[in-house]
Amino acid sequence: MPDNIYRPTIDLNGEWAFAYTLEPPTDEFRTIDELQQAGMTAYPCQVPGNFELDLQAVGLIGEPFYGMNIAALQKYEAAHIWYFRRFAGEQHAGMIPELVFEGLDCYADVYLNGQHIGSCDNMLVEQVIPVEGLLREENELLIHIRPAIDEARRYEYPPLLQSLGANYDALYVRKAPHMYGWDIMPRALSAGLWRPAALQFRPVERLEQFYVETLNIADDHSRATLAAHFDARLTGTPTDVYEIQLTGRCGASRFAHRQRMLFKAGTFRFTVENPALWWPRGRGEAALYACEVSLWKNGEQIDGREFRCGIRTVALDRTSVTDPQGNGEFCFRVNGEKVFVLGTNWVPVDAYHSRDAARIPPIMEMVDDLGINMIRCWGGNVYENDLFYDLCDEQGVLVWQDFAMACSIYPQDADFRARLADEVRRVVRRLRQHPCIALWSGDNECDASYLWSGRNLDPNSNVLTRQVLPGVLLDEDACRPYLPSSPYIDPVAFQSDQSLLPENHLWGPRDYYKSQYYQRSLCHFASEIGYHGCPPVRSIRRFISPGKLWPYQNNEEWLLHASSPVPGVDLYDYRIELMAKQVRELFGEVPDTLEEFAFASQVSQAEAFKFFIELFRGSKWRRTGIIWWNLIDGWPQFSDAIVDYYMEKKLAYSFIKRSQAPLCLMLHEPENWKQALVACNDTRDDLPLTYTLRDVESGEVLAQGHGVARADSVTPVGEIPFSMGARRFYLITWSSRLGQGVNHYLAGNPPFSLAAYRSWLERAGLLAVDAGA
């Protein structure tokens, strides 16, 4: 039952044209002829696209990501832009035509055949404009996009509101927050049709909403109870007989239900015996049912669609605070089982979002390769492409989904509340069928922003995350966990020390990665933690001009690509020097060549990520998960990402892959002159193993033997003596029914010799990345 039988579609992607002016237009153009008669120059472009990429494609600007180029594009923030094309019309009896823009950025007026048919003010959600009675055999479509900075100036900004230095003009504007400049992204406001466009025909009588949710699963997993919610548009008479039918199949498991509809909306429950359950990675198969829902009138099918669903339950056990003894909790449960989270933060994969879709598949291959079981979709981003969530469903990757607000105190007025509620309702309806979605989160660090204000403001007064969002979620997706902010400061936590939060972002001073700040952190779950490292030198040469490659000091290109998004304004200028300090802390000095500096920074980053992950894994279940920051850059820069924009992997990638293996042997930090060797097993089965631990330089075997890694736990398997004065590099190897495994441990206190460290890596066979290449 292909969707296009009931939803015929004309693809409006591909060749378009655009024109622009940096001056406010004196007239409102409604047709292509009016635009051309005004002397506007038309240029070819592609949809999906972005304004800056369109300018680059016709030679009006250079590569935005090279050198200082992106900073010179700020003048285009004042541009009025028109996108236009012609297309042939169609008619489909009994169907209503609608223009569908999956992503239109941002303030836009849409004209069809010279008639104004709609306006848009949100780039983050799909825009649907009815065009019934307006189509001709030949049609022209014209879209005028107004400057977002002009629209932002129309609002008043009461003293309550707060944002980062470059982001005040983002507060009322529903664009991705990062576009205004962030410490990980450039200022790139952009505009355009950044996701696909189409003319779609929908049946007059149709299913508007259909959603299947799992209500409960028997303790022995032998039975699941599901509920299907529907809402339809019906125009028949009281004597017409309407029915709804649902079928699903996953391997040998099947379900089917058909019933008469007594009203346009309703809910029906049904039971699936011996269901194929959807499990996150490492816990079982991510089973997906292929489903069909159909609408029938007087025995004839009049609408239908295909979708996938997963049978699973998800819960979040959390307390308001914790304490030094660990009397607190922040733990995800799927199908009743606790899941230890090994996750990454998902930030913008490109500063120009029309390129996102092409980048998602190779990034998700890395997610699978690294053993990641949760992705946190950060609130400074767009809501990702459908493909992303489909792949997470297939790979068993849980998704923590922030709503698109970050590091600010947002407007609380009635108009903004209504706009946000509409956005969230659309997002939830689009995504709720995905079993991968484990958590809705109100925002990123907006609770913390109330404390950053210096006014002792209570974040629980935020009506957006305490009233508006919960109200929408109660309507649309009541069974899925909701966290108002990350980190969440509830009324109890607000009266407590913020170090007692059970879920926290561990940034702090960003000093030596084994400092007391990290080792004594009390949180059960770290949803942000990271460390800086340079890209490989071959990548740096692609975005830094030859005269600015070295040194890094007083280097405007390094600062811009660090990212400090507004040259001459010290927003995040500290980040390059911070990376240098981290290198100096580990090796006692900062190398004096680009190649050696890049390598040293990658070592510092790789050892830090390894330590953070093993700190949390090694204290399972006192700690319940870590979502490190982050996998890949959204533009070329010096950052916490372990893969650069060009998809070149830093040294940390291979370190993390080893530390996140389902079975990993690791050394605890020294205590009483000894170090415990432990086996962290994230599988459901006990795993017999043999192991060897040796000093790479001397070849001395310090420990070897047999042991059993107990299921889903951390098991001591041996110990070795430890001396603070010795600087050594240990190689740990083991064998189990899962195969061969390897890990390492850098013993002793800094400073270490960079040359010795490189030699140790080479002898151990662990130098997977040549940072100097």
Residue range 308-352, pLDDT digits in tens: 999 999 999 999 999 999 999 999 999 999 999 999 999 999 999
Distance from C-alpha of 596 to C-alpha of 591, rounded to nearest angstrom = 6
| pLDDT tens readout for residues 627-640 | 999 999 999 999 99
Distance from C-alpha of 469 to C-alpha of 440, rounded to nearest angstrom = 10
Segment 569-576 shows an average pLDDT of 94
| pLDDT tens readout for residues 658-691 | 999 999 999 999 998 999 999 999 999 999 999 9
What is the distance, to the nearest Å, from the Cα of residue 93 to the centroid of all Cα atoms in its chain? 41
Whether residue 161 has pLDDT greater than 90: yes
Whole-angstrom CA distances from 603 to 37, 591, 732, 750 are 60, 13, 19, 13
Whether residue 544 has pLDDT greater than 70: yes
Segment 723-731 shows an average pLDDT of 90
Residue whose C-alpha is closest to residue 41's, from 27, 58, 57: 58
| pLDDT tens readout for residues 473-515 | 999 999 999 999 999 999 999 999 999 999 999 999 999 999 9
Whether residue 171 has pLDDT greater than 80: yes
Distance from C-alpha of 103 to C-alpha of 297, rounded to nearest angstrom = 34
Whole-angstrom CA distances from 180 to 175, 186, 411, 502, 564 are 9, 7, 17, 31, 11
Can you spell out the DSSP letters for 455-512? Answer: S---GGG-HIIIIIHHHHHHHH-TTS-EESSBS---HHHHTS-GGG-SEEE--TT---
Contacts of 610 (CB under 8 A, 6+ apart): 652, 655, 656, 658, 659
Enter the tokens of residue 356: 């996102």
- Phi, psi (degrees; rounded to nearest 5) at 560: -60, -40
Enter the tokens of residue 133: 């009675």
Report the run of H or E that residue 140 belongs to, with start and end: strand 138-146
Across 218-353, where does the E strand assignment appear? 223-233, 242-250, 253-261, 265-273, 289-297, 300-309, 314-318, 330-334, 337-339, 341-346
Task: Give the largest CA-CA distance in the chain.
Answer: 89
Rg, Å, the chain Cα set: 28
Segment 524-531 shows an average pLDDT of 98
**Three-class HEC string of 758-771:** HHHHHHHCCCCCCC
Distance from C-alpha of 339 to C-alpha of 77, rounded to nearest angstrom = 45
Distance from C-alpha of 548 to C-alpha of 272, rounded to nearest angstrom = 64
Label residue 764 exposed, middle or buried (CB < 10 Å: 0-12, 13-18, 19+): middle
- pLDDT score recorded for residue 771: 52
Whether residue 768 has pLDDT greater than 90: no
Average pLDDT, the chain: 96
Q: What is the percent of the chain with per-residue pLDDT over 90, rounded to a whole number?
A: 96
> Collapsing DSSP states into helix, strand and coil, what is residue 677?
strand
| pLDDT tens readout for residues 83-132 | 999 999 998 988 999 999 999 999 999 999 999 999 999 999 999 999 99
The DSSP call for residue 645 is T
Whether residue 425 has pLDDT greater than 50: yes
Angle, alpha carbons 96-102-104 (nearest 5°): 110
Q: Are 597 and 590 in contact (CB under 8 A)?
A: yes
- Phi, psi (degrees; rounded to nearest 5) at 579: -60, -40
Distance from C-alpha of 526 to C-alpha of 504, rounded to nearest angstrom = 5
Whole-angstrom CA distances from 493 to 446, 457, 459 are 15, 13, 10
Instruction: Quickly state the pLDDT bin for 725 (edges 50, 70, 90).
Output: confident
